[in-house]
């Protein structure tokens, strides 16, 4: 059975809605993070074949999920390092 795309709708600080596809959820230091790509046509860069991955902090309360931007460089870098480490480990298998 094919896995369904998980589309996430977020609203930025200006009230504009953005649609993302949830690629994966990773856990770093007991905090969940969502790896997302834009699905909005205007957000896609036609000059590049690579999709830009957006990393957002993820909170779950009951059945509600909240995605939040990562403001601190140190936290962002820690998540990127964890993703890079996982990719290196997968490449070795």
* pLDDT tens-digit map of 27-56: 999 999 999 999 865 555 555 566 788 999
Cβ(40)–Cβ(19) under 8 Å?
yes
Domain chopping of the chain, boundaries: 7-92
Question: What is the CB neighbour count within 10 angstroms for residue 17?
Answer: 9
* Torsion, CA 62, CA 5, CA 81, CA 65, rounded to 10: -20
Map tokens 């059975």 to a residue. 1
pLDDT in tens, 55-71: 999 998 888 888 999 99
Model confidence band, residue 84 (pLDDT cutoffs 50, 70, 90): confident
Model confidence band, residue 20 (pLDDT cutoffs 50, 70, 90): very high
């Amino acid at each position: 059975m094919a896995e369904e795309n998980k589309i996430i709708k977020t609203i930025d600080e200006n009230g504009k809605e953005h649609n993302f596809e949830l690629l994966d959820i990773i856990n770093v230091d007991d905090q969940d993070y969502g790896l997302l790509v834009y699905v909005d046509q205007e957000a896609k860069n036609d000059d590049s074949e690579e999709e830009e991955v957006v990393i957002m902090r993820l909170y779950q309360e009951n059945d509600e999920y909240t995605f939040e931007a990562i403001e601190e460089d140190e936290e962002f870098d820690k998540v990127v390092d964890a993703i890079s480490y996982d990719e290196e480990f997968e490449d070795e298998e």
